[in-house]
Structure 1
Amino acid sequence: MGKDAAPKRVKGTGVKFVYETLRDEILALDLQPGAVLDESSLAERFSMSRSPVREAIVRLSAGDLVVTLSNRSTVVAPIDVQSFPKYVEALDIAQRMNTRLAAELRSDLDLRTIARRQKEFVTAVGKGEHLAMSETNMLFHMAIAHAGRNPYLAAFYERLLNQGRRMLHLHFAYLEQGSEEVLLTDEHDEMLAAIRDRDVARADALAHAHTRQFRDNFMQFMKQNYLKDAELVALGPAA
């Protein structure tokens, strides 16, 4: 092979590139809910065959980011506001259980990892980058989940966090519309402190309050921007 020959793309990298590009555009709401994903158009856009595009779409479907309709067209998954209270109910349980376990079982290494993830989140908040904010927010909470030493609860929690990342973008947007500068950084610091102190009850209460803040702000954003008569379904008080 001559030295001037174009390098071959490593097998699978095309799929990874298409998947990560579309995933980020969906999470950042650049690709709106309901937008059609046409394989031919995407193949032309990415200058590759339809096969890697098709595989990337399959991966997006596995992550609940796209859905296939009865006419076999693929669209960006809708944000189902009607089922949001049930989603928050599940998120609240998972968040509280994982945070309680972390407060009880965490190691010094876990604390360092959680603290590092929190610094990464604070940096993303400072830059105002929503995609980075949602990514580092998830990594912070998953560091807590891993400290809880229950892989089943951690896996359930991770799926919920992934499903909620687009809603988190709207949450950030609502907070930025207001006059308060603080987003979630103070709450994260308090959760880290409770875990460090092995204060299980406080960790549980903070995790519950964290979910309620997300729920209330998201619903308020939707009411102001999309839903004029949306009802706010309340969670019960912290245990």
Structure 2
Amino acid sequence: MSSEIEGKRPKGSRWKNVYETLRTEILSLALPPGQLLDETTLAERFDLSRQPVREALIRLAGEELVVTLPNRSTIVAPIDIATFPKYVEALDVAQRINTRLAAELRSEADLKIIARRQREFVAAVKSGDHLAMSEANKRFHMAVASAGRNPYLASFYERLLDQGRRMLHMHFEFLKRTQNGYLLTDEHDQMLAAIKAKDVEQADALAHAHTRQFRDNFIDFMKENYTSDVALNQIRAAE
């Protein structure tokens, strides 16, 4: 059965469905951090041989979404709380510089794209779909980065946004439960207004506040659900 189905697919695309499905499940936390990803089990699930499954896992490893252990087994990449302060530090720098550049260099066409991405994010928030929200959030921020006209800084920013997608889902869960979901949409609107006004310092300040809000809400979520007060107090002290 497996070989018969595989034979009907273009040879170079057999891994794509596995990759896209697993990526969605990892980002949405349907596959939790640390979950074992057994090639044989996945091959049976997708009715494929192990080769396209292996190719999908290699690509996910390239995005740092899975990790290959010394015994050659593969797991969903853990979320390392101990390194969270360093991640937020890098995110803050990237977010601020890209938003500053956007305020300085944006065109009218850029403003239209950023505004469109913000409308898409608002629609995603209303849908309650966290995966759609994180995708729309990334598109909004990458539209801002594009307006900054520095592809190197934009690329660095995109990598950080991708690495933080699972943490962002936890962040959204916290906002949903505490009824503070409006904060993100309001902050995006304020950032857009500062970029439109070419107010570089205000854009910088808003980008910084945006990162801090994500940091604080993520830590509060982890404090309630996963991690001890002691560990999280150490994280706060390290920032």
What's the TM-score bracket when you normalise by the shorter of the two chains? over 0.9
Pairing 1:221-232 to 2, within 5 Å after superposition: 221-229=221-229, 230-231=232-233, 232=235
Residues 125-156 of structure 1, C-alpha deviation per residue, up to 9 Å, x if partnerless? 00100000001100110111111011110010
Query: Aligned letter for 2:236?
Result: V
Aligned to 1:21: 21
Aligned to 1:85: 85
Query: Aligned letter for 2:198?
Result: R
Pairing 1:102-121 to 2, within 5 Å after superposition: 102-121=102-121
- Calculate percent identity across the aligned residue pairs: 68
Residues 73-109 of structure 1, C-alpha deviation per residue, up to 9 Å, x if partnerless? 1000000001000000000000000000000011111
Aligned to 1:3: none
Structure 2: any 5+ residue segments left out of the alignment? 1-5
Pairing 1:1-239 to 2, within 5 Å after superposition: 8-229=8-229, 230-231=232-233, 232-233=235-236
Cα distance in structure 2, aligned partners of 1:122 and 1:14: 35
Cα distance in structure 2, aligned partners of 1:114 and 1:220: 30
Structure 1: any 5+ residue segments left out of the alignment? 1-5
- Three-state SS of the structure 2 residue aligned to 1:82 is helix
How big is the shift at 1:13?
2.6
How big is the shift at 1:48?
1.1
- Number of aligned residue pairs: 231
Query: Aligned letter for 1:25?
Result: E
Paired residues of 1:39 and 1:53 also in contact (CA < 8 A)? yes
The structure where helix makes up a greater share of residues is 2
- Three-state SS of the structure 2 residue aligned to 1:75 is strand
- Aligned-residue Cα RMSD (Å) equals 1.6
Distance change in 2, residues 1:54/1:169 (3 Å):
same
How big is the shift at 1:42?
0.6
Query: Which 10-residue stretch deviates more, 95-104 or 220-229?
Result: 220-229
How big is the shift at 1:14?
2.0
Cα distance in structure 1, aligned partners of 2:130 and 2:47: 28
Query: Aligned letter for 2:30?
Result: D
Paired residues of 1:99 and 1:195 also in contact (CA < 8 A)? yes
Paired residues of 1:172 and 1:183 also in contact (CA < 8 A)? no
How big is the shift at 1:183?
4.1
- Three-state SS of the structure 2 residue aligned to 1:67 is strand
How big is the shift at 1:70?
1.1
Residues 39-85 of structure 1, C-alpha deviation per residue, up to 9 Å, x if partnerless? 11111100111111111000000000000111111000000001000
